[in-house]
Structure 1
Amino acid sequence: MKNLFLLLSAALLFSCAGESEKSSDSGNLEISYELDTVMVDAGDHFFFVQFGLSMSDVDKSRKLLYNFNNQEMVMEIIDLENLKLKEVRQYEKEGPNGIGGGFIMRVQVLPDESVVFYDFNGIHHVAQSGEKIATYQLGEIEWEGANLPEGEEIDVSSLDTKDGKTFYGFFGTQGFDSKNSGIAQFNVIEKSLKLLPSGFLQFTSAYDISFSMDGRGAAKFPEQNRIRVVNDKILIMTSAKNELWQWDLAQDSLVSHTYTSQLTSNSKKGNFPIQVNSNEEWSAAIKEKNKEVNFGMLVQAPDQDKFWRYHKEMDRMTAGDTIIYKNVLSAFDQELNQLGEAALPEKFKNADPVFYLDGRLWHFLNIDDEVAFVRVKPNISE
């Protein structure tokens, strides 16, 4: 159960530094789009799709998708240009190049084709050849600059980097009753640490579902609060509300961008139980929560000088008790002003991960345990 909680757990909350706010409505530009679906040729290989490509990343310059199988410690590398399996790369658990025993939560591919593996305790950086560059156990580093408060740690699951040296993520207490105390910047080579204590995400804890057994915390279904490094921007996103934040490193402050959708709610309402004590109650609470609005990741489209983002909310229930969603695609400019939004077809399935390549937004689609992608080619006009 401990591992179940850690897999489900995400960063939460606490007290705030300087913050400014900008507001935007849904915009008045028209969004149009084209849809298609493509299949990947796996040959005689069976893709690892158990977690829906949740442990994958894209090397956009080389048009490759890296999908990590943490059960067999192999990386499936898909050629997205030719839509076929390119390579299956084996990694080691133990020894000088070992990356641990199956506790990898996320992978990230860097421009030099090296791969960063994030596990519960730290970071493994491995070269394209498979030779390990370094392992960083964050709890053992004596940081220069700021000091983490007593009892608080860096949340490895939240981290993002551009170069494998400087990382950004949340910090706070860990465990079942974890609290997010703010955001951190650290460099593993210089061993420097910078903290921005802030409670700007405190509200999201009201939407966490906690599962207790025999009076003890067993699992948690939290909101997805995430940090991503995009060019020179440090962006923070939440699934709970129509809002984005940017960490201004020079001013050591947060800039909040709030938006208004004309097609859905702008925040979760919390009309579901947040404390359950049985598997039946857990499943029912999650189903009720899934009816409420959910905001996805901001996805950069460099060739369009824009960002795109999906979100969804229940439209209605079918007679067979299936949720039919309103799926919405929104466009933002480089300054994070919302330009417009558009409803997508009823049968469109909006799910992570989403990435942008060759003018299209790509979504993984599992077709009989084969890898396929639904591709949306968005356009925007006056």
Structure 2
Amino acid sequence: MNKYLTLLLLAAVMISCSKPSDIIEQRTFTVSLDTVQVDSKDEILFLNYFLGVSTLDPSQKFLYNLNVRENILEKINLETLSLDTLIQLEREGPNGIGSPFKIIALENGGFVFSNNYTLRYMDANRQVTKQTTLTREPYITDLLPSGKSLSVQSNGISNDGRYLAGLYETSEMSDKPEGIVWFDLENNTGKLIQTQALDFIRENNLTLELEGQIRGGFSTAVFFEPSQDKILFSPTSRNMLMIYDLAADSLITKKYDSKLTSNEQKPGEAKTITDLNEFDKLREDLLKEVTFGEWELDSKTGYRWRFSKELDRTIGEDSLIFKTVVTAIDENFELLGEAQLPQDFVFPYSFWIRDGMPYVFLNIDDELAFVRLKPNFGND
């Protein structure tokens, strides 16, 4: 089952402006889309939650998807587009994986399972070799100032499972974050980085308070990509990427200019809402504004890809039509281009990159499929 569409992406590259004869070179590339379906071999694969608890292995050959209800790890061969094996895991016990929200496949054949509070490291023999509870480790808790904690919503783990970075903040949703924290989970060390660079993420923050108790909230999230020497991070509310150099103690901010969406959400004030209907209405209004997804690294090219969405138009009283845009940057974080995708392309909350192609999950009549974006940079 295939469909094909070619989209032209344009990125202007300034060569020089020092002489009247200098020009702006237009760099172009195309992206074709096709749909491929996976042979499940008569097994019922777990397609809930948009494959939110899944991971690509370092070889980019296999996708591991966790059936969180049955604790079964589904190993999908992306070369043959077929189910390889089903791996039964345990939830409880010495080799239990708990209830993970995230999974990472490691070079050694093992995995990291994370529920945002606890990391469980499993080797290739399916034995849990290490468990790290972020709220209990002295090298974490002693580093954080009194009354501050690591943000559950805004943190990230490196693809080798060794580094973690995120915001540290108070428990009050309306408070601005104190800064960024970075941890080496292997050597049990960390670094605290005070910064006001992310103060804006509390703009438009909504807190739901019912009968004097905090019942929920809605705010900008920040995606983190930590490594040994750098921390990359970006918010959902602005068209940007920030790079912090740990050794140099310096921060570089790359701001991008989109021709297809707004470049940031309209700034407002944090609000505490005591009426559920009002909270839902304000949240729905914010969801109509531009939202930027996570930058996903292609380890083979060094390029990063990201999807964004914004309300395009309204049909009638309540039919909302959103636009979805794909953006690419190079290994130096410079813009390669962007393109608006077809109207039926749904903004993906997770995707994978294999052989230079973003793979986006698609459910076709309860069968696993992927939409693949195939870029052509002109000299390929």
TM-score (norm 2): 0.84
What is the aligned partner in structure 2 of residue 288 from structure 1? Answer: 285
Which of 294, 313, 336 is 2:310 aligned to? Answer: 313
What is the aligned partner in structure 1 of residue 263 from structure 2? Answer: 266
What is the aligned partner in structure 2 of residue 3 from structure 1? Answer: none
What is the aligned partner in structure 2 of residue 56 from structure 1? Answer: 54
1:358 partner letter = D
Partners of 2:163 and 2:156 lie apart in 1 by: 10
2:139 partner letter = W
Q: In structure 2, do the counterparts of structure 1 residues 209 and 82 end up closer, same or farther at CA, with 3 Å as the change threshold? A: farther
TM-aligned CA deviation for residue 188 of structure 1 = 3.0
For the aligned residues, what is the CA RMSD? 2.8
Describe the SS at the equivalent of 1:350.
Answer: coil
1:137 aligns with 2:133: yes
Describe the SS at the equivalent of 2:281.
Answer: helix
Q: In structure 2, do the counterparts of structure 1 residues 278 and 65 end up closer, same or farther at CA, with 3 Å as the change threshold? A: farther
* Contact 1:30–1:341 (Cα < 8 Å) also in 2: no
TM-aligned CA deviation for residue 126 of structure 1 = 0.9
Q: In structure 2, do the counterparts of structure 1 residues 325 and 31 end up closer, same or farther at CA, with 3 Å as the change threshold? A: farther
Partners of 2:117 and 2:328 lie apart in 1 by: 37
Q: In structure 2, do the counterparts of structure 1 residues 231 and 298 end up closer, same or farther at CA, with 3 Å as the change threshold? A: farther
What is the aligned partner in structure 1 of residue 4 from structure 2? Answer: none
* Contact 1:38–1:373 (Cα < 8 Å) also in 2: yes
What is the aligned partner in structure 1 of residue 324 from structure 2? Answer: 327
Matches within 5 A, 1:216-235: 216-229=213-226, 233-235=230-232
Q: Select between 79-88 and 123-132 the one with higher mean Cα deviation.
A: 79-88
What is the aligned partner in structure 1 of residue 165 from structure 2? Answer: 168
Q: Which runs of 5+ in 1 are unaligned?
A: 1-24
C-alpha distance after superposition, 1:197-233 (max 9, x if no partner): 2222221122333333223211223222110147964
Partners of 2:313 and 2:102 lie apart in 1 by: 34
* Contact 2:163–2:228 (Cα < 8 Å) also in 1: no
1:190 partner letter = N
Partners of 1:191 and 1:305 lie apart in 2 by: 29
Partners of 1:298 and 1:319 lie apart in 2 by: 34
1:116 aligns with 2:112: yes
TM-aligned CA deviation for residue 115 of structure 1 = 1.0
What is the aligned partner in structure 1 of residue 74 from structure 2? Answer: 76
TM-aligned CA deviation for residue 276 of structure 1 = 4.2
Which of 90, 93, 101 is 2:91 aligned to? Answer: 93
Matches within 5 A, 1:1-382: 28-100=26-98, 102=99, 104-143=100-139, 147-155=143-151, 158-174=155-171, 180-229=177-226, 233-269=230-266, 275-319=272-316, 321-381=318-378
Q: In structure 2, do the counterparts of structure 1 residues 274 and 349 end up closer, same or farther at CA, with 3 Å as the change threshold? A: farther
* Contact 1:276–1:282 (Cα < 8 Å) also in 2: yes
C-alpha distance after superposition, 1:97-140 (max 9, x if no partner): 1233x3x2211112212111112432111112210011112232
TM-score (norm 1): 0.83
Partners of 1:307 and 1:164 lie apart in 2 by: 20
* Contact 1:183–1:198 (Cα < 8 Å) also in 2: yes
Q: Select between 298-307 and 340-349 the one with higher mean Cα deviation.
A: 298-307
Describe the SS at the equivalent of 1:116.
Answer: strand
Say how many residue pairs are matched. 356
TM-aligned CA deviation for residue 297 of structure 1 = 1.6
Larger Rg: 2
